[in-house]
Amino acid sequence: MKISSMSRWGAVAIAISMVGVACGGDDPMSSGSEEKAYSEALAVALAAESDFPFDEKQTLCIAERVVDVMGVQMFVDAGVSAEDVTAAGEFDFPELTDEQTAGLAEIFVDGDCVDMGALMADQMMEQSEGALTEDQAACIGDGMAKSDAFNDAFAAGIAGQEDPEADAAIESEILALIVDCDIPLDAFG
C-alpha cells in the first residue's frame, strides 16, 4: 500500500521549520503591521518551496496563523527581519513547545485555511493512477482528516518526531477506511 501523503505533510512541516517557525509564542507587544509584514514574508517563503501544495490564499492564511501562534518576537529576538524571512528561508531557533506544536498542527487540520480531506483525496487520486473513484478518494481523505491518529502524527512531524506506534495506528485507520469506503485492496498497487 502506498501511503506517501504522509511524506508530503512531512515536507510541509519541514518547509515551515526551514523558514524559521521553530520557537516563540504569542506576542501581545507586536504591532499589526509587524505581524502583517512577517506573515506576508512567510507566505512568500512558503510559496517558494517546491513541495508546498497550497494556493496563494491558503498560503497567506497559513502564514498569518503561524505568525499568530509563534509570535513576531521570535524573529525579533533572533535578529531576523521580515526581509530576511523572504530572502533566506532557514534560521536557527529553539525547539517548539508542545503548545506551539499543537497550534501549528491545528492550522492544517481545523479546516480554516486548508480542506485537508480534499487535499488528501486529490493526492490519493493521483497516487492510485485511476484505480480510485473520486467518491472513494474523498471518503478516505475525509476520514483521515478527521482521524486523531493522523492529526497526532502530523503534529509529531512538525516537531520533528517519529512515532512507529502512530504510523501503525494510521495504517490501521487507513485499512479500516478502505473497508468502510468499499475500496478493493488492489487499488493501491
To the nearest 10°, report the CA torsion of 147, 148, 149, 153.
110
pLDDT greater than 70 at residue 15: no
The mean pLDDT of 132-160, rounded to a whole number, is 87
Is the pLDDT reported for residue 2 higher than 80? no
pLDDT tens by residue, 60-113? 999 999 899 888 888 888 788 888 888 765 666 667 788 888 888 889 888 899
pLDDT in tens, 16-64: 444 443 333 444 445 578 999 999 999 998 888 878 888 999 999 999 9
Phi, then psi, of 183 in degrees rounded to 5: -110, 125
pLDDT at 152 over 60: yes
pTM comes to: 0.72
Q: For residue 147, is pLDDT > 80?
A: yes
Amino acid identity, position 155: A
Q: What is the dihedral of CA 79, 27, 43, 81, to 10 degrees?
A: -20
More confident residue, 187 or 146: 146
pLDDT for position 105: 86
Alpha-carbon gap, residue 119 to 45, rounded angstroms:
21
Per-residue confidence (pLDDT) for residue 14, from 0 to 100: 40
Average pLDDT of the segment spanning 153-178: 84
Give the model's pLDDT for residue 170. 87
Cell 506506534 appears where? Answer: 165
